[in-house]
Amino acid sequence: MPKDGGIGDATKRREDVRFLSGTGNYTDDINVARQAYVHFLRSDVAHGKITGLDTAAAEAMPGVLRIFTGKDFEGVGSIPCGWQVTDKHGEPMQEPGHPVLAQGKVRHVGDPIAAVVAETREQARDAAEAIELDIEDLPAVMDMKAALEDGATKVHDDLTSNLCFDWGFVEDNKAATDAAFESAAHVTTLELVNQRLVANPMEPRVAVGAYNRAGDDYTLYTTSQNPHVIRLLMGAFVLGIPEHKLTVIAPDVGGGFGSKIYHYAEEAFVTFAAKALNRPVKWTSSRSEAFMSDAHGRDHVTKIELALDAENNFTGIRTETYANMGAYLSTFAPCVPTYLHGTLMAGNYKTPNVYVNVKAVFTNTVPVDAYRGAGRPEATYQLERVIDKAARELKVDPIALRRQNFITEFPYATPVAVEYDTGDYVATMDKLEEIADVKGFPARRAESEKNGKMRGLGVNCYIEACGIAPSALVGALGARAGLYDAATVRVNATGSISVMVGAHSHGQGHETAFPQVVAEMLGIDPAMIDIVHGDTSKIPFGMGTYGSRSLAVCGSAMVKATEKIINKAKKIAAHLMEASEADIEFKDGQFSVAGTDKSVAWGDVTLAAYVPHNYPLEEIEPGLEETAFYDPANFTYPSGAYACEVEVDPETGKVTVERFAAADDFGNIINPMIVDGQVHGGIGQGIGQALLEQCVYDESGQLLTGSYMDYAMPRADDVPFYSVDHSCQTPCTHNPLGVKGCGEAGAIGSPPSVVNAVIDALQSGGHNVTHIDMPVSPSRVWQAMQG
Amino acid sequence: MYAFDFERPKTLADAVKAMTDEDAVMLSGGQTLIPSLKQRLAMPSKLVSLTGIDEIKGICTDDEGRVCIGAATIHADVAAQTHYPALAALAGNVGDPAVRNRGTIGGSLANNDPSACYPAAALGSGAVIRTDKREIAADDYFTGMFETALEEGEILTEIKFPVPEKAAYMKFEQPASRFALVGVFVAKYADGVRVAVTGASNEGVFRWSEAEAALGSDFSAGAVEGLKLDGSNMISDVHGSGDYRAHIAAVMTKRAVAKAG
Amino acid sequence: MPKVSMTVNGKPATGEIEGRTLLVEFLRESLHLTGTHVGCDTSQCGACVVHVDGRDVKACTIFAAECEGAEVKTIEGMAADDGTLDTIQQAFQDHHGLQCGFCTPGMVMTAAALLRDNPDPSEEEIRSYLQGNICRCTGYHNIVKAIMAAAGQDTSKIAAE
C-alpha cells in the first residue's frame, strides 16, 4: 500500500478546490489597469494579394487608439519554426517566413491582416469593419497531391514549390524493405486519411501584453503550455527582447492538447503593441476565431503496405504519407510527421524492414502542428488498421496475428532508429483480453443481432515515444532547442517547500502529483509542499508540458534537486548531531545517526539552514535551495492494448460505442487516479476522432466546420464508461522514477480499435467493407454499406 | 454585437408599438438570435424582448380540444405538458436543457430554421399559428428556409395544436449541432395522417404526401416500407448527402410510426 | 446607460449595462465573478451555465437586461460561506471529475439543476442532460460518475478504473 499522499497514492487534487469554487485564475480573468483591446481583421479568403488596405476612416472611429498593419511589422522578426527537417537528399526543408501581420499576401482564411486597438472590444471590432480592404483572389492550394504537381499555384512565391520536404526514414532501409516486399508471401495495402482535427481545449486562447516604460520591461500573460518556450521564441526571434526584460506568465490554463505549445502571432502582437501604445493590450479569442487561428492537428494522407511471409510473420512495412503543413510552419510542425511518426512505425512488432516516406506540403489552410499524440496516433492508426486488414485477408485472428509478431525481448532496437528500453506486450494484451471480456463477445454479439444491430469487436496495440526528449538526439534530428527540463526545490526555514518547475499544469494535476514525489522522498506531509509553475520570473528555464513529458523529464529534475537537498540536509544534520555525515540516515522526515538513538527532525535542519547560529559555515553555505536540470537519456515507451465494441445500426449507419477497454503500461505510477483520468480523456478524444470530428475546407479554402455547429465535439452521450487498467508495469530504465508518461496514450491508442470494430461489425453483417475513413460517421457507414 | 437599444414590454400592445421602429428586431428566447448577433449577422436598432409578456406565455386547451401554447412559452414548459405527449417529447429533446430553459416555441417557429424540430410538429399537426393580426394555417405558414408567412413586425402569439389519436417524432441528430439532420413528425388524425419532415430539404420543412397516403390506409411501419424520397433537392453537407437524408427520412418515418404505436 | 439590478448569489447587484451586454459579461466584467466561463460563441459548450430564477441557462445567451429583478446563482455561490464545498462540488473532487477546470463551473451548475429535478438519475439520464456541456479533458467518465455519487449512488461497480 502506498503511503498517504506519497508515490502511488490516489491523492485527491488540491487544485480542484479553486476550479470548483470559481476562483481559478485563467488568462481572461486577468485584467491590467488601463488595458486596451485588440481585434484582428482576418482574411476571409484562402489565398490572395492585398491590393488595398486603407485604415484612415477606421482610425477615426470612436475609441480607436491605433490600427496596425503589416507595414508596422516590417523589420520585425518572423514567427520562427523550432525544428528543421533534412530531406532524403540531405537538404534542409523549405522554410517560409511567417509574419505577425500579413505582408502583402494572405495565405489562409483567418490569416491576420490588421489589428485594431481600441478602448473596448466592440469599438475595436466596429473599426475593423470600417477598414477598406481589397484582396485580389488567387487560386487556393488545397489538395496536397495537386499542390506538388508542376505548375501548381505556390503558397509562397519565394519557395521553389509547395514541398516543404520529402523525407525518407530510414533512407538506408529502403532497398532492403523493397526487397522484403518482392519476396513476401502476402502483401496488404491500405490507403487512408488521418483527418484534420482541431484541438479545441475548452478555454480559447487569450493574450495580454503589458509594458513598463520605466524599466523597459514587458509582461505577457498567455494561455501557454510552456511559458519559457514562448519567451525564448518571441523574445529572441520575433521582437528582440532580452530574456531579463520579458516575463511570460501562463496562469491557470484551460487545456491545451498541443495547441497551446506554439508561439502565435497574437502573443507577439499584444507585446509589441503594448510598447507602441504604452498601454496594456488584451486579446481574447472567440471560438470561431480559434477554429481559424489555433494550429490544427493530423491531416495525413497515407498509403501503407505490410509484407508477411508464409507463416504470417511481418517482414516489411512501407509507407508513403502526405502531411499537410498548412500555410506556414508552426513551432513544431515539421517534427510531427517525421520524428514523432516515422520513429514509431515499427509499433509493437518485430518487423525487420521498415521504410517511411513523408512529403510535407504547404497549402492555403491553417498551420498544422502537434495535437494530442502528434504523429504517434497517425503511425498507430496506419499500422493497426493494416494489421487488422491483413488478418481479415489471411483469415486469422487479429489478436493472434499481433501476438505472433510482438517484440518480446528488451531492449529492442527498431529499424526506425529508436531503442525501446522496456515493455511487455504480451502482458498488456493478456490484461486487455481479461478486462474487455473478449471471451464474452460472441454472446454480446448474438444479443445485439437479436435487437437488429450489427456488433463488432476491434483491438489494437500501440507504442509511443514520450518523455521528450534527449537533447543531443533531437538536436541531431533538427530541433532548434534542447528538451531537458528543470526544477528548483526551495526549502523554507520552517521546513515547508516551494518547488518551481518548468513543466506547466493545464489539467494534468501537477500541483498534486509532484508534491507526492517530494513528500515520498523526504517523508514529510505533502501539504508542506507547493508547486510553482507558469511564470518565467519565478521558475527555472524549463521546456513545458507536451509529449507526455512532465513527470518523466521535469519530475526527474525535481527528483535530482530533491536528492541535492537531502545531501545538503544530511551535512547539516551531521553537524547538529556532531556525527559523521556518512553515518546519517534519513527516513520519514527524521535524520538519525546510525546505531544510536540520536536524531533531529526535518524542521530542525531546515531552521538551522536559515538561522545558521550553530552551522558549519566554513564548509557549506546557509540556506536550503537546489536546482537541477535533467536531460533524458532516451525517450520513454509507454505501450498498451485497447479494445472497442460497437453496435452499428444497419438502417442508419450510426455507430454506438458500447464498451471500451484499455490496458496500458506506463511504468511506475505516482497518482493512479490522475493516470486513469488522463487515459479516459485521451480515449474520449480518440473516439471523437474515430466517429465525430473533422475539420473540412471546401475547394476554395473556406472552412466548412468553423464552429461547434459543424465540428462535432464528443459529448457525454457519445461515449460509455471505460475500463482502464495500468497494472502491467515495466518501469522505464533510464529515469529515476521509472515513469513513462500517460498523457497521450488514450488518444493514440483508441482510434484504430474503434474503426477495426466498425469493420468487424459490418463484415459480420455480410458487408464486404474493408475500410472507412474517419470520422466513421453514419452517412459514411451507410455509403459503405451501399457497396 | 453591434450596439442596440433594449426594450422589454409587459404587454403585447406595447410590443407591437415597440416593433414599429425601423430595424427593431424581436427577441424571444434568443438561443439562435443571440449567437447570430455575436457573429454580427444582424444589425438591429433595437431588440424588443417578448419574454416579459405574460399574455403570450402558458399552455391550455381550447373548446375544440386543441392544445394552445403561448408563443413565448419555453421548450421546457412545452416538454412538461401532458396534453400532447408527442409534442412534449419533441420539445424535451430540442437543444439541451439550458437552451430549453430559454428558447421558446414561438422563437423557433418564427425563425424556421430548416433543421429545427418545432416546424415538423406544427406542420405535422396541422397547427394554427396565431399572431397579433391573424391566424395562419401551418400549411401556409412555412414558406422556405428561414422564411415564413409572417410580415414585418408581426408578432407570433400562440400556436394551437389539434391533438392527434397517435403521434410521434423521430429525430436523427446532426452530430455537431444536435439539430435534426432529419426529423420526422407523424400524426394520425381521424381524417388522415400527416407526415412532416424537417432537416432534410433545401426548402425547409415539408409534408411527405406519399407517406401520408400510405399511412392513411394502413397506419403501420410496414405501410411506408419501400417508399423513397428524392434526394436531389435535399441538403447536402459534411454530415450527409441529399441521398442519405432522403434515406434517413424514410427510416425515421417508419420508426416514428412504430413509436406512435 | 441603462441600469440593471438583480440578486447574485444572494446579494443585490446593480450595474450599468448596454442593451447588448450579456449576463456573462455583466457577471465577469462588472461583478468580477470570473468563475463563469466562455468557451464558445454558438451556445453549445456550456462553460457559462448559471441559474436564473432557479433554471439552468447559458449566461452567454441571455442579455443582462433580461435578468432585471432575477435571482442569479453562479459557481461562486455553490460552496458554503466558509468555503466548504457542496455535495456536487465535493463529488467532483472525490471522483476526479475535472482536469483543466474550465468547463467545470458549467458542469457543476448543470449537475445541480439535474439533481434538483431528478435526484436519482440513471447514467443515461445524466449523459443526456449533459448534452449542452462540453468537456475536452475527462472523456466524461468521471463527470458522470461524480454526478452519480452526488446523487448518493454506489459507483463502485462502474467499469474498472
Q: Could you report the predicted ipTM of this complex, rounded to two decimals?
A: 0.97
Dihedral angle sign, alpha carbons of residues A20, A21, A25, A30: positive
Contact B34 C63 (CB under 8 A): yes
pTM of the model: 0.97
Per-residue pLDDT at C161: 42
pLDDT, one tens digit for every residue, chain C (161 residues) = 789 999 999 999 999 999 999 999 999 999 999 999 999 999 999 999 999 999 999 999 999 999 999 999 999 999 999 999 999 999 999 999 999 999 999 999 999 999 999 999 999 999 999 999 999 999 999 999 999 999 999 999 886 44
Distance from CA of C52 to the nearest CA of B (A): 10
Q: What would the grid cell of residue A536 be? A: 518565467
- Chains contacting A (3+ CB pairs below 8 angstroms): B, C
- CB B16, CB B132: distance < 8 Å: yes
Alpha carbon dihedral C149, C103, A381, A731, in 10-degree steps, equals: -60
Contact C96 A286 (CB under 8 A): no
Residue of C nearest to A746 (CA): C139
Q: What would the grid cell of residue A636 be? A: 520513454
Q: pLDDT tens for residues A725-753?
A: 999 999 999 999 999 999 999 999 999 99
Q: Is residue A62 within 8 angstroms of chain B, CB to CB?
A: no
Contact B38 A651 (CB under 8 A): no
Contact A22 C36 (CB under 8 A): yes
| Minimal Cβ distance to B6: which of C19, C61, C62 | C19
Q: pLDDT-based confidence at A4, cuts 50/70/90?
A: confident
Residues of A in contact with B244 (CB under 8 A): 778-779, 782-783
Per-residue pLDDT at A92: 96
Kindly state the percentage of chain A with pLDDT values over 70: 100
Contact B176 A708 (CB under 8 A): yes
Per-residue pLDDT, averaged over A548-573, amounts to 97
- CB B96, CB B178: distance < 8 Å: yes
Q: Is residue C61 within 8 angstroms of chain A, CB to CB?
A: no
Residues of C in contact with A255 (CB under 8 A): 99-100, 102, 136-137
Distance from CA of A492 to the nearest CA of C (A): 28
Q: pLDDT-based confidence at A787, cuts 50/70/90?
A: confident
Distance from CA of A33 to the nearest CA of C (A): 13
Q: Is residue A494 within 8 angstroms of chain C, CB to CB?
A: no
Per-residue pLDDT at C158: 85
Residues of C in contact with B30 (CB under 8 A): 61-63, 66
Question: Which residues 576-605 in chain A show a CB within 8 A of chain C?
Answer: none
Q: Is residue C76 within 8 angstroms of chain A, CB to CB?
A: yes
Cell 503593441 found at: A273
Distance from CA of C3 to the nearest CA of A (A): 19
Contact B39 A692 (CB under 8 A): no
- CB A24, CB A18: distance < 8 Å: yes
Q: What would the grid cell of residue A765 be? A: 453483417
Average pLDDT of chain A is 97
Per-residue pLDDT, averaged over B152-157, amounts to 95
Per-residue pLDDT, averaged over A431-436, amounts to 98
| Minimal Cβ distance to C19: which of B47, B51, B97 | B47
The maximal CA–CA distance of chain A, rounded, in angstroms, is 86
Q: pLDDT tens for residues A574-609?
A: 999 999 999 999 999 999 999 999 999 999 999 999
| Residue B255 zone, left/alpha/beta (φ > 0; ψ -120 to 50; rest) | alpha
Q: pLDDT tens for residues A463-516?
A: 999 999 899 999 988 998 899 999 999 999 999 999 999 999 999 999 999 999
Kindly state the percentage of chain B with pLDDT values over 70: 100
Least trusted range by pLDDT, from A20-34, A181-195, A473-487, B207-221: A473-487
Per-residue pLDDT, averaged over A547-556, amounts to 95
Find the length of chain A: 787
Q: pLDDT tens for residues A235-266?
A: 999 999 999 999 999 999 999 999 999 999 99
Per-residue pLDDT at A1: 47
Per-residue pLDDT at A757: 98
Residues of A in contact with B175 (CB under 8 A): 691-692, 712, 718, 777
Buried residues in A278-316 as b, exposed as e (16+ CB within 10 A): ebbbbbbbbbbbbbbbbbbbbbbbbbbbbbbeeebbbbb
Helix residue ranges, H only, A583-654: 602-610
| Minimal Cβ distance to B1: which of C20, C110, C132 | C20
**Residue A301 scores a pLDDT above 70:** yes
Please tell me whether residue A134 adopts helix, strand or coil conformation.
strand
In degrees and rounded to multiples of 5, residue B197 shows phi and psi of -120, 125
**Residue B250 scores a pLDDT above 60:** yes
How much of chain C is helix, strand and coil, in % rounded to 5?
35, 15, 45
Distance from CA of A509 to the nearest CA of B (A): 30
Per-residue pLDDT at C159: 65
Q: Is residue A259 within 8 angstroms of chain C, CB to CB?
A: no
Q: Which of B41, B181, B198 is nearest to B119 (CA)?
A: B198
- Chains contacting B (3+ CB pairs below 8 angstroms): A, C
Average pLDDT of chain B is 96
| Minimal Cβ distance to A779: which of B3, B40, B239 | B239
Distance from CA of B174 to the nearest CA of C (A): 13
Q: What would the grid cell of residue B91 be? A: 420539445
Per-residue pLDDT at A279: 98
Angle formed by the axes of helices C87-94 and C104-117, to 10°? 120
Q: How far is CA B246 from CA A691, B236, B250, in A?
A: 22, 10, 7
Residues of A in contact with C96 (CB under 8 A): 12-13, 673-674, 676-677
Q: How far is CA A305 from CA A317, A378, A398, in A?
A: 6, 15, 17
Please report the number of interchain residue pairs, chain B to chain C, with beta-carbon separation below 8 angstroms. Answer: 78
What are residue A168's DSSP bridge partners? A357
Helix or strand (DSSP H, E) at A759 = helix A745-764
Distance from CA of C43 to the nearest CA of B (A): 7
- Chains contacting C (3+ CB pairs below 8 angstroms): A, B
Per-residue pLDDT, averaged over A174-185, amounts to 97
Question: Which residues 45-84 in chain C show a CB within 8 A of chain B?
Answer: 46, 49, 55-58, 60-63, 65-66, 68
Per-residue pLDDT at A99: 97
Q: pLDDT-based confidence at A182, cuts 50/70/90?
A: very high
Q: Which of A12, A14, A16 to mutate to test the interface with C (most CBs of C within 10 A)?
A: A16
| Minimal Cβ distance to A201: which of C38, C79, C136 | C136
Q: pLDDT-based confidence at A2, cuts 50/70/90?
A: low
Distance of CA A480 to the CA centre of its chain: 18
Contact B8 C133 (CB under 8 A): no
Helix residue ranges, H only, C53-121: 87-94, 104-117
Per-residue pLDDT, averaged over B224-232, amounts to 95
| Minimal Cβ distance to A202: which of C39, C96, C123 | C39
Q: Is residue A696 within 8 angstroms of chain B, CB to CB?
A: yes
Per-residue pLDDT at A3: 67
Per-residue pLDDT, averaged over B83-107, amounts to 97
